[in-house]
Structure formats: structure tokens, C-alpha cells
Amino acid sequence: MFDAPVLDPYRFTTLAERVEGECCPDQIPVLQEYLFSPEGKIRFVVRGWVDERGRRLLDVQVDGRLWLVCRRCLSGLSFDLEAHSRIHFVGSEAALPDLESEDPEEETLVIPASLDIAEWVAEEVLLALPFAPAHAGETCVEAGNAGKALAGKTRPFAVLGALKGPSRE
């Protein structure tokens, strides 16, 4: 994991502090299975404050460029990362709002004992990844070429179909 501070969330929000930095995608261990290449940069800004209603808030922003594995052709896929989350910290589980009354623009969580900036950034990056990254339509050239190459080859299991005989439908 990349080098980032672990902070006291009460102090961080009370003093309206801000932490910013950058890391390489290969410095986030949970991201490794999605990466085609370790190239790229992830920039992050984490800002805490207390609003006019006395609520403790945390903003987490990440952006950058990653090289993901295309799920169709298994080649590199450039992905522009851009994510932003606002978290409202409460003191206990009893203070968590009902799902119907929760603000859709922010997530409400019980305030943690510590604020590990690297973990928050890693989670934000993971949540921003596409479910199945793939090149758009016909730009997935390698997959099309692989299909054409297979079309001219002998299919080993075709022999089994011949042994089975004509189909009885």
C-alpha cells in the first residue's frame, strides 16, 4: 500500500484538514487483478470539515488514468478514473438514518476509530471501476482477429459430432 497518513477522524473534521497526494496503481494491492499495466497515476484529495449543522463530513476525490484488462480481448484498456464521495459521520449505529430518509448525495457511516487515508482511497478507486471493462464495440480488434483465426482452424471437438451421427430432431 502507498504511504499515506492514518488520522484521528474527530481532529481531521474539527480542524477542517485536507490531505492530498498521488500514487501509482500498482501501490494498491486490491487493484492488481484488474490492471493490465502498472502505468498510470491516481491523484487523491481527502477533506474533512464540520458543517453549519454540526455534522462531521468527509469528501474523498480520486482521479487519474489506469490501464485495465479488457474482458473481451484481454489487452490493455485505458480508463479515466474520476470519483467523488461525501461521507457523513455519526457517533453510533443508533444515529444512522433509515434508508428512505438518507441523502442520496452522501453516505452515512459510524465514525471510525482512525482514518486510514490509503484504505479510503483504495476503496474509492475500486468502487469507480467498471463491472466488466471492455473496449467499445468494434475497437476490440484483438477479439475479432482471434475469432477469424479460429474460423480457419480445425475444431478438435467437431470429430465428436461426426461420431455421434446425424441429429434426430
* pLDDT for the residue 149: 41
The grid coordinates of residue 125 equal 478507486
* Prediction pTM value: 0.77
* pLDDT for the residue 152: 46
Residue with cell 457517533: 91
Q: Where are the chain's structural domains?
A: 6-137
* pLDDT for the residue 96: 86
* pLDDT for the residue 137: 73
**What residue ranges of the chain have pLDDT lower than 70?**
138-139, 141-169
* pLDDT for the residue 164: 61
* pLDDT for the residue 138: 65
Q: Name all contacts of 138-142 with Cβ < 8 Å and 24+ positions apart.
A: 140/70, 140/72, 140/73, 141/73, 142/73, 142/74, 142/75
